[in-house]
Amino acid sequence: MLGTIVNTACIVAGSVLGSALKSRLDEKYQNALYGALGLVTLALGANMCVQNFPKSEFPVLFIVSICLGALAGYALDISGRIDRTAERHNVSRLVQGLTTSCLLYCIGTLSIVGPVMSAVYGDNTYLFTNATLDLVSSTVFAASYGIGMMWGALVLFCWQGSIYLIAYLLNSADFIPEALMAEISIVGGLLLLSSGLSILKIKDLKTVNMLPALAVPILFYILKGLIG
């Protein structure tokens, strides 16, 4: 768990540093940073999709995942419930930032393979690399959204901790097929693109409502394994 603990600590440290920077930045610089963050999010989302499209064994699965995820999210009114709660506490912008940051922290090869390598082989290289990237990312996010971005550290710890525990109990590095990781990454990349559009105020696609899409590839591969 050392790698996950270090990764979590880096997000906390980055959030504290970014929040300190935010208090020293004029509003025009905060807006400039906010716009840059939206552009970077679009680029990262597009890159994640392009890198993983060739690895997909089922080219239409990401389409089905996004559609079913969106339908489930809108049926449950996830975005509406969160927005109403956020408005009551005046943290609407923070919720948007947390959604985007948590996708960046959790969806990707380093954050998924890292806990597996740590649990099975005791190799924390992936997680230490991810921690460095997240330190920079969390600093930028907190400079735009404030100290509340620290909550992303808890999400990352639960995410990586769960993967670590499963890999440790199974003592296997192969319980997450590479094809499944590719599908999750494609869906995650599309959600990042959606977040980027919202940050730039181009189109609010209610990214939170589409989060259930991440579960569709997992359920598909579980059913596929059961059917044989």
Domain boundaries, the chain: 2-227
Q: At what angle do helices 109-121 and 2-22 cross, to 10 degrees?
A: 140
Q: What would the mean pLDDT of 194-201 be, rounded to a whole number?
A: 90
Average pLDDT over the chain, rounded to an integer: 89
DSSP letters spanning the chain: -HHHHHHHHHHHHHHHHHHHHHTTS-HHHHHHHHHHHHHHHHHHHHHHHHHHGGG-SSTTHHHHHHHHHHHHHHHHTHHHHHHHHHHHTT-HHHHHHHHHHHHHHHSSHHHHHHHHHHHHH---HHHHHHHHHHHHHHHHHHHHH-GGGGHHHHHHHHHHHHHHHHHHHHT-S-SS-HHHHHHHHHHHHHHHHHHHHHHTTS----GGGGGGGGHHHHHHHHHHHHH-
Tens digit of pLDDT for each residue in 4-45?
A: 999 999 999 999 999 998 888 787 887 888 888 889 899 999
- Unique residue bearing structure tokens 């004029």: 26
47: pLDDT strictly greater than 70 = yes
Contact (Cβ atoms closer than 8 angstroms) between residue 133 and residue 205: no
Q: Which pLDDT band holds residue 228 (cuts at 50, 70, 90)?
A: low
Neighbours of 74 (CB within 10 A): 15
Largest CA distance in the chain: 59
Q: What is the dihedral of CA 100, 40, 87, 156, to 10 degrees?
A: 20
Q: Which pLDDT band holds residue 177 (cuts at 50, 70, 90)?
A: confident
The residues, ordered by sequence, that sit 6+ positions from 59 with a Cβ below 8 Å of its Cβ are 53
pLDDT of residue 175: 75
Question: How many alpha carbons fall within 13 Å on the CB side of residue 154?
Answer: 6
96: pLDDT strictly greater than 70 = yes
183: pLDDT strictly greater than 90 = yes
Q: What would the mean pLDDT of 202-219 be, rounded to a whole number?
A: 91
